[in-house]
Amino acid sequence: MQRVFAWWLVGLLFYIPANLYPMLITRTMGRESDATIVGGVIELAQYGAWGVAFIVFFASVVIPVGKFIAIAYLAMVVRRPHGHKPRNLLHLFELVEWIGRWSMIDVFVVAILVALVQFNLIATINPGIAAVSFALSVVFTMLSAMSFDSRRIWDEIEIISEESSK
């Protein structure tokens, strides 16, 4: 569990600058602007792109925060005997692992934009420090989830079953 919490904490620490610093730095006709994740969501919503704004918000804020909460919850619950249904905990763990595969979608979008929009004189898009921080946060939360031994969910249940049968 120490490894789970260590990776989790490092992931959380990288998630903070991922939300405070710019994700994209855009230069158009000599004018530079940058956007944080939430700032980009607000800007997309102001332009009427509600669907895209929702997807970005969901993928960049809701899912990562949900992963942090789910991993911490699982790690705390299995530390001692618990009365939770193991199937529910296992489903939560599987969901966290499945979502981990899709967590890098923001970084891929930034990479594609950077590759596509390079008109040097007219416009350029460069990744900000938040893109690197977000990618590292995703990697560390994936490592945290991978370090979690799902057998612990069942082990603690067995202890409760044995104690209740005595």
Q: For every one of its 166 residues, what pLDDT tens digit does the chain have, with 9 covering 90 and above?
A: 889 999 999 999 999 999 999 988 887 777 888 888 898 889 888 888 888 888 888 888 998 999 999 999 988 888 776 677 778 888 888 888 888 767 777 777 777 766 666 666 677 777 889 989 999 999 999 999 889 887 777 765 555 555 555 5
Residue type present at position 134: F
Q: What are phi and psi of 33, to 5 degrees?
A: -140, 155
Q: What is the reported pLDDT for 118?
A: 61
**Prediction pTM value:** 0.78
Residue type, 87: R
68 token code pair: 């942090």
Contact partners, residue 9, CB within 8 Å, separation at least 6: none
